[in-house]
Chain A
Amino acid sequence: MLLTDADLEAIWLTVRLAGITTAILFVLGTPVAWWLARTRSVWKGPIGAVVALPLVLPPSVLGFYLLLAMGPNGPVGQLTQALGLGTLPFTFWGLVVASVFYSFPFMVQPLQNAFEAIGERPLEVAATLRASPLDTFFSVALPLAKPGFITAGILTFAHTVGEFGVVLMIGGNIPGVTRVASVQIYDHVEALEYLDAHRLAGVMLVFSFLVLLALYAWRPNARK
């Protein structure tokens, strides 16, 4: 095997981080996307903008705020300490929390588009057949929005794998805990270990290409 144990550890950590983040965002992102797709509330604009913020904000802004908020003197840090959880920076779960914020729009926006594409009609038909709103959502909306879920899942996973700035600011670079693949590559480069950097960077390149290939190769079929 060309990769060192430390590299494999970093890759495994990255996969776990991205997987858990994606799972959490399916749960959190779906209701938000559903609400954004169907609401006529005046809050649609502001909430939509907040959801999209991580697309625009530099990761250093997010990292800075999270570091202060989750630190021992920050509001989130006070809360986690009161709950006996300690503080979140430099922990795996701290990275998960950061990634959930960071990748939020990548989950919500494809889902919102998919929900909007369904339109009112199938839902109204379901209602005339006496389906409850919850039943309608699970039996009608979910299956119709399946392509959107696949796109959202892949994008969220891939975007979390590509995270660097936020992790550097709140991660503390701990092997096996917060040293993800992108940070490991950065360390290799700074230590002038170009060969190691090349190997891991190559893996990331191939992975990213395959993910996008899967996304684009599969997409045309979604158009029925």
Chain B
Amino acid sequence: MQRIKALFFAACLAVAGAAQAEKVTIAAAADLKFAMDEIVAHFRAENPKDQVEVIYGSSGKFHTQVQQGAPYDLFFSADIGFAEELVKSGHAASNVMPYALGRIVLWSPTLDASQMTLASLADAKISRIAIANPKHAPYGKRAEEALRAMQLWDKVESKLVYGENIAHTAQFVQTGNAQVGIIALALALNPALAEKGRFYLIPEHLHAPLEQGFIITKRAAGNAAARRFADYMNSKPARAVMTKYGFVLPGETLGQ
């Protein structure tokens, strides 16, 4: 009995403690997977009291979830349009803050993608190509645009498999189930993938820009830690991480 009481007391303390610490929950587009992990690590080091939790997924899904009152304080969308819609529908406590331009690449662990172009995808030797679902994933939409711009869509459509988000797409390729994929440059540059395969940067004139933006959601209007993290995105260390992962930052051009 004594032990149960002690346990109960400890549990109460833990709950009370958690309620006092400032907590930020971030919903981030899957292309940010590795970059955001690093930024959060830097942020934690500088703000040890703030608790940060990140959930990765497709921007379209998060957009729906935020509308339905999901407990996210910040929403980083791979398509600025989703963030703009949330501002318009009154689900945001901030304006849309553009944070990066994304790029898409061909990537493969078995073929040397750096020697390929989009036209190589029509090759009969390639039987499966992974892209993100163009219906709701921004990177998938841009992949479709680029393939259509090269008049390749009709030739490759039967080989396409669709990932739920861009990280899921990369996983299809990494496991070898698709020989090649169109994924985010940010993922191809992450060490875990970069060690396994090379990439071909798809020219940006082939698709609409992948403008990315984030918002502070309405529920976080009074969350100082969320505000701190939003400001931190503009800090030197955060910008350095973003650049390292191939994102073009607002007000900069891609340095070759």
Which A residues lie at the B interface, using CB under 8 A? 67-68, 71-73, 86-87, 89-90, 168, 172-174, 187, 189-192
* Interface CB pairs A-B, < 8 A, 13: A71-B176, A72-B177, A89-B177, A90-B128, A90-B161, A172-B162, A172-B172, A172-B177, A173-B161, A189-B64, A190-B61, A190-B135, A192-B136
Told that A87-B177, A172-B130, A172-B162 touch, could you supply 11 new A-B pairs with CB distance under 8 A? Answer: A72-B177, A73-B175, A86-B127, A90-B128, A172-B128, A172-B177, A173-B133, A173-B164, A190-B133, A190-B136, A192-B63
B175 touches A173 (CB 8 A): no
CA distance A67 to B162 in the complex (A): 15
User: Interface size for chain B: under 10, 10 to 19, 20 to 34, or 35 or more residues?
Assistant: 20 to 34
Q: Point out the residue from B58, B64, B128, B175 that lies within 8 Å of A68, measured CB to CB.
A: B175
CA distance A204 to B127 in the complex (A): 33
Taken residue by residue from 101 to 142, chain B's Cβ proximity to chain A (1 for < 8 Å, 0 otherwise) reads as 000000000000000000000000001101001011000000
Output the least CB separation between B130 and chain A (Å): 7
The 4 closest A-B pairs by CB, nearest first: A172-B161, A173-B162, A190-B136, A190-B60
B160 interface residue (CB < 8 Å to A): yes
CA distance A168 to B171 in the complex (A): 13
CA distance A174 to B163 in the complex (A): 10
B177 touches A67 (CB 8 A): yes
A71 touches B177 (CB 8 A): yes
Q: Point out the residue from B60, B128, B161, B177 that lies within 8 Å of A192, measured CB to CB.
A: B60
Output the least CB separation between A182 and chain B (Å): 13
| Chain A interface helix/strand/loop/mixed | loop
A190 touches B162 (CB 8 A): no
Output the least CB separation between A197 and chain B (Å): 10
CA distance A167 to B61 in the complex (A): 18
Contacts of B159-193 to chain A: CB distance below 8 A: 160-164, 172, 175-178
CA distance A187 to B162 in the complex (A): 11
CA distance A145 to B163 in the complex (A): 43
Output the least CB separation between B196 and chain A (Å): 12
Q: Chain B residues near A71: list those with CB within 8 A.
A: 175-177
Output the least CB separation between B219 and chain A (Å): 20
Q: Point out the residue from A73, A89, A191 that lies within 8 Å of B135, measured CB to CB.
A: A191
